[in-house]
Structure 1
Amino acid sequence: MRIPYSPTLRLRLLVSELKQGRERAKLTVSQAGKVLGWTASKISKIETTETRRITSGDLDKLMDLYKIDEPSKRLAMHALARDAKERGWWSKYREVFGEQALPDFEAEASVIRSFEGLVIPGLLQTPGYAEALFQGGRYTDAKDIAHRVDARMTRREILSRFNPVHLRVVMDEAALRRMIGNSSIMAEQVRHLLHMAKMPNIDVQVLPFSAGSHAALVAPFSILEFPENLALPIVHVDTVTDSVFFEQPKDVARYSATFGDIQGTALSTTQSARFIADVLASLESDG
């Protein structure tokens, strides 16, 4: 069974509680380490999440030292420690997602706001479209492509699970016009996009060519928001070589402002659905 949460976010929440506990106890990292007979480095690695697995015994020692005595609080922190040790389904796609896996954060996101300029957003792609997309890149090995397609399709489950993520997409018209694969593959993809755009948790807006210059003539990006008290929003930007995450509030604010600008420039969801339906009709006619 796939875990319905993010081990990374659970670990971050746990170490945040530990750090706050140390600070309330008015202890430095060195002082806490000295009392416990640990090196300062061990405490530091725990607080920076460099140490991903915190044993039950070590957690008890830290909570005792920081006087975190409330039974329910201690139980909750032990639960976080257990959750943090789990391996998500994305761990078997490490070569696809990299060390800091986007699905790890998507697993617990409540809202994802995404801009895409050239292709259909990954969460809304069909298997055929994704396969044709990868065939156009450097990953031409058939097994590698199949592995990547499987990873991308598995990501989509956050859209249909119980309490699904709310996905808000703004995409450039270019993503609809660029022929990926053939007209049959594109028609299937656009049909799927139109179907998903009707889902109550998914909003799709199109930025038509007629909009001219706009605020997001940059790399595609996604802003992930999480339930209250779990984590602050983060921004994900895909690059040629890696995934980049921005977590500083000022960076997130800049991307949020940009997304707000392009939402205002794009067609409404209703107008976008008509636009997408027209593109589909054209593809079916050509087919």
Structure 2
Amino acid sequence: MPRPFSPTVRRKRLARELRRLRESHDLKLSIAAKQADVPQSTLSNIESAEARRIKPRDIDALADLYEASADVRKALHELARESKEQGWWSKYRDVFRGNALPDFEVEASMIRTYQSQVVPGLLQTPEYSEAVFSGGGAYTSEEIKRHVDARLRRQQILNRRHPPHLWAVIDEAALRRELPDAEIMREQLQHLVNLATHHNIDIQVLPFSAGMHAGLAGSFLLFDFPSEIDPSVVYTETATDSLFVQDADSVSRFVTIFSHLNAAALRTPETVNYIRAILEMHDRHGNF
């Protein structure tokens, strides 16, 4: 089975390659568009990775102008074709809104995440996920079901043949949050202990004793990709919006933040023992 790919990542890769080819011929965008007989607005949209439908004729015209080899031409056509494919998440536009998180997760080789309030979505049990979306009464029963279904579908990347490496730092507050049904939280904590044994999953707890730390600004996900030509991407969200951060300096800042969080958090073996201690406290006293 071929490795899943992200249409968005492929579209950005095509944009960078065509821009590189144009600049290697020292051509301004307007001149290249005119000489290739491609509308300037079309070429601008392709190079900014905003074009969702790219004509094979335009790819051939640009390949001719840039004197691309047969292999490069073939690769450009393949990227253009893959950039317009739709992943399973296209069926959940109501859940993911304008920014489809799985579009990056599906191709990432490493996912680093810091979560301050809840267990990371990729590590949630169905019951815990339902409790998360039920909190606050913001969603109808049908909307909750859609969100939970989409979240469980996202988790499938962790069990495929070549899974990404998930590295999660979780604030202790997320592990001690009380739920109406304490058994849901107990099962979620046990689930984390079980997942920590997987070769592609590292889980660290950031204990209260860490004091003020680098993640106080909020939760985020950091995606790295197998190809060096695909730059890392950061995902953050609020109650009303989500944002993909791609500026190199901003991404580098998040990398530094995660490094500090990693240093302040418990190691994975210590984390497993820590979570087990929380579970034992629950079994003795009935709370976390």
**TM bin (shorter chain):** over 0.9
* 8 Å contact kept, 2:38–2:58: no
Q: Secondary structure of the equivalent of 1:206?
A: strand
Shift of residue 138 of structure 1? 4.1
Q: Secondary structure of the equivalent of 2:166?
A: strand
Shift of residue 140 of structure 1? 2.8
- In the aligned structure 2, how far is the partner of 1:134 from the partner of 1:219? 19
The superposition leaves residues 99-154 of structure 1 with CA deviations (integer Å, 9 ceiling, x where unpaired) of 22111011111111110111111110011001011111343311110000001111
Please tell me the root mean square deviation across aligned C-alpha atoms, in Å: 1.7
* 8 Å contact kept, 1:170–1:206: yes
Gap runs ≥5 in structure 2: none
The superposition leaves residues 198-245 of structure 1 with CA deviations (integer Å, 9 ceiling, x where unpaired) of 111111111111222111112101111111334111111121111111
**Matched AA of 2:94:** E
- In the aligned structure 2, how far is the partner of 1:74 from the partner of 1:181? 58
- In the aligned structure 1, how far is the partner of 2:179 from the partner of 2:14? 44
- The residue that corresponds to 2:12 in the other structure is 12
Gap runs ≥5 in structure 1: none
- In the aligned structure 1, how far is the partner of 2:239 from the partner of 2:274? 30
CA 1:128/1:181 → structure 2, altered by over 3 Å: closer, same or farther? farther
Shift of residue 254 of structure 1? 1.1
CA 1:93/1:230 → structure 2, altered by over 3 Å: closer, same or farther? farther
Q: Secondary structure of the equivalent of 1:276?
A: helix
Q: Secondary structure of the equivalent of 1:136?
A: helix
Shift of residue 165 of structure 1? 0.6
Q: What is the TM-score normalised by the length of structure 1?
A: 0.95
- In the aligned structure 1, how far is the partner of 2:56 from the partner of 2:21? 17
Residue identity (%): 45
Output aligned runs, 1:169-184, within 5 Å.
Answer: 169-184=168-183
- The residue that corresponds to 2:158 in the other structure is 159
Aligned length: 286
Q: Secondary structure of the equivalent of 1:272?
A: helix
